[in-house]
Amino acid sequence: MKKSILCVAVAALSLLAPQLTVHAADDAAMPTAGQKAPTFTLPSQEGKPISLDSFHGKWVVLYFYPKDMTPGCTVEAHNFQRDLTKFEAEGAVILGVSVDTVDSHKQFCTKDGLTFHLLADPDHKVVDEYGSLGHFGEMTIANRNTFLIDPSGKIVKVWTKVDPRVHSEEVLTALQQSKKG
């Protein structure tokens, strides 16, 4: 019951106050634009391992989000799904990461018709490596941050504390501008 109440609180705050700062879990440094993106392998909603290295030669939108099936996270995922063909036309893949389990991701994808990869990081290794580990009350979550990674594996742009309602469009615009210049 206590976890359910916290989940509802996270959901409400993530939608109503997308700029809310969630307490960082530790002092892990967030990678910055110009740096090589830290590599990783995590299981997708199908339970298959997905490696960042396997997308070498493609643009990657790597977004971290707090919790499956909460309002703000659902809005953000739906918008990435809505724009998926536009991202694919630009040669980009979308990877969503949270601390939820493979089973939770599978349920989220099935319920909401998500076809891009959601990666499970319940041990917080990748979330921490990307400086995106946070806490909301007693819950460990991923802070809402996004990294645009170019085909050579370099981080081109970083967004923190994003607004899930408009973020997909922001990332798509930045991707298109990055490809031009």
Q: What amino acid positions are annotated as catalytic residues?
A: 73
Burial class of 57 by CB neighbour count within 10 A (0 to 12, 13 to 18, 19+): exposed
Largest CA distance in the chain: 51
Sign of the CA dihedral 153, 158, 161, 167?
negative
Q: How far is residue 18's CA from residue 62's CA, in Å, rounded to a whole number?
A: 18
| DSSP state string for 136-150 | ETTEEEE-SEEEEE-
Residue 25 identity: A
Pairing of strands 117-120, 92-98: parallel
